[in-house]
Amino acid sequence: MLKAGIMGSTGYTGHELIGLLKRHPAVEIVFAASASSAGSDLIQAYPGGPAQALVAPDEVDLSSADVAFLCVPHGSAAPWAKRAIEAGARVIDLSADFRLSDPQVFKSWYGVEHAAPELLDNAVYGLTEWAREDLPEAQLVANPGCYPTSVLLPLLPLVQAGALSGTVVVDSKSGVTGAGRRPRPHTQFAELSENLVPYALGRAHRHVPEMEQALAWASPTPPGLIFSPHLLPVARGILSTIYAPLAEGWDEALLRQVLTGAYADEVFVELLPPGDAATLAHVVRSNRCVMGVVVSEGTAIITSAIDNLLKGAAGQAVQNMNAVFGLDETLGVV
């Protein structure tokens, strides 16, 4: 049995992850830490369970874990990653701390000096379907952001194939668990119910550099990005509607050929048949990314849906853990 430890257990991501790990046939949780709720049980915060005793971060023995999952806030994960690696654990970081390979870029978007820049070079960006070769050797996996996961899965193969040109418009809509569990005015039921809230339009969201970095890995001439997130009155799920101008000579059939080539054998990625669009109902409570594509006016209109807490966070983290330790990637995830 793999011994897993969790830092940051009471946020939505930590809770979802603990639920997955407790049902995982090859994993045993050795600790679940929480700075705010140490001494209590996770079920007190989430009455639907699971039960999991919570310990103080200071009391954790990192060396007892084969793998440490970091679900702490951005900026707080890097020091824990360092300590966990020194203690001999593999690390899967669900924060943003190791997603951007350049510490200056990190600083400009997250406002703090990176606490462990020396680890950046060896961190693997864990979009599992694209990181498989590197995962078995990875000491440190940077689990991708939720929006980027929904956007990169359809875009990476198309950019790599040279199918796109010009600026890609990404209009994303996210459930409110993506905003975290700390109570805030705009995430209150009475404010969000019957509402829809765009925010950080254009190039203002921290996921923009993350997406651009990955697209640049796929092509020396990646398309530009406009990214418009919206807060939806739903608990979970992301739907990204992506408008990607096609390069000369591309049509829907060719796009489908590329996407099928990339994902036909993937358990967690599905291309819908012509005419179908992805909806949240396709993916909520599953680790799948479901995508539809149609071409209009020389532009690919891609709908890509994930569950932000699963494929967009905890599910992909477990998928990554499975890959790191040589297990069947689907174990404990479906």
Residues forming the site for its own copies (CB under 8 A): 12, 46-49, 167, 169, 171, 173, 175-177, 181, 183-185, 187-199, 201-203, 224-226, 228, 230, 232-237, 239, 241, 243, 277-286, 290, 292, 294-299, 301, 303
Helices 314-324 & 12-23 angle (0-180, nearest 10): 50
Closer Cβ to its own copies, 157 or 175, answer by number: 175
| Residue nearer to its own copies on the CB measure, 26 or 115 | 26
Query: Quick count: other Cβ atoms within 10 Å of Cβ 182?
Result: 9
Q: What strand order describes the sheet that includes 2-7?
A: 27-33, 2-7, 67-70, 90-93, 140-142, 124-125
Cα torsion 222, 315, 189, 54: sign: negative
Cβ(225)–Cβ(211) under 8 Å?
yes
Nearest-approach distance from CB 294 to its own copies, in angstroms: 5
Shortest distance, CB of residue 304 to its own copies, whole angstroms? 11
**Closest distance between its own copies and the C-beta of residue 16, in Å?**
12
Rounded (5°) CA angle 303-307-310: 140
Give 5 or 237: the residue with its C-beta nearer to its own copies: 237
CB 51 to its own copies: min, Å: 11
CB of 228 to its own copies, least distance (A): 6
Amino acid at 169: V
Is the Cβ of residue 273 or residue 326 nearer to its own copies in the bound state? 273
How far is Cα 155 from Cα 149, in angstroms, rounded to an integer?
A: 10
Helix (H, G, I), strand (E, B) or coil at 15: helix
CA angle 236, 199, 10 (to 5 degrees): 40
Name the CA radius of gyration of the chain, rounded. Answer: 19
Active-site residues, by number, are: 146
